[in-house]
Amino acid sequence: MLQPLRKNSKKKILLKLKLKDFFKYQLPQHVLVFGTLLLCAWLFNRWIESIMLCVAHTCVRNAFNKQFHFGSSKTVFCTILTLSLIWFVIPVTLPLGVSLLSSVFIAFIIGFFGFVAQDRVDYMLRVKALEKHNKELLEKISHKDIYAMSEDELYEYCRAQGLSDADCKIAYFIVYERLKGKELYDAIGYSERQTKRKRTEILNKIK
């Protein structure tokens, strides 16, 4: 009997937290947005157009798999952006007597640019995460002896030191396979003189 009571208690606590969050944060935002929407519709006499625009925006935005947002920690900026859009798009929405589809077109424009903006933000975040990963990896292997590195570590390290992909392959034969002399000449297809020069250049860069 104790286990069900604990589950029920958790559900009640979660419900209370959700309701508290809704009434404290979300409800005031909804009231502000809908109040602004009604005020704007009244000032510009766009009641039906405003309703059509809201419906069109709700439907059209689902055609895009992402929309721009400032993040959960910057809700106030999202609210400001929404209010700004309301004051901009409702006045430019054509009356029904002129066009029935202007609200759909405007909703598509908003959704499209919202998608492009968020896609750009996501791309920049991925680039930053990749740069951070590479930096941490280089810091980890920069103090490691090249002869103790794995194949992947050696390749990443060689690329970080400015070696081309072809030189990285040669470095693999030199460091990882420990090839020398004729074995190295045959593996990379260079002449003896070229191989010696290339070997010295590569080792000077990565040691």
Residues 119 and 134 reside in one and the same domain = yes
pLDDT at 7: 57
* Domain span holding position 177: 144-206
- Residue with more model confidence, 144 or 153: 153
pLDDT at 124: 92
Residues 151 and 194 reside in one and the same domain = yes
Res 2 pLDDT > 60: no
From 139, 163, 189, the end of a domain falls on 139
pLDDT at 138: 72
- Residue with more model confidence, 122 or 143: 122
Least confident of 95-99, 114-118, 128-132, 200-204: 95-99
Residues 116 and 155 reside in one and the same domain = no
Residues 51 and 105 reside in one and the same domain = yes
Residues 53 and 123 reside in one and the same domain = yes
Residues 82 and 44 reside in one and the same domain = yes
What gap in Å lies between CA 154 and CA 145, rounded to an integer?
10
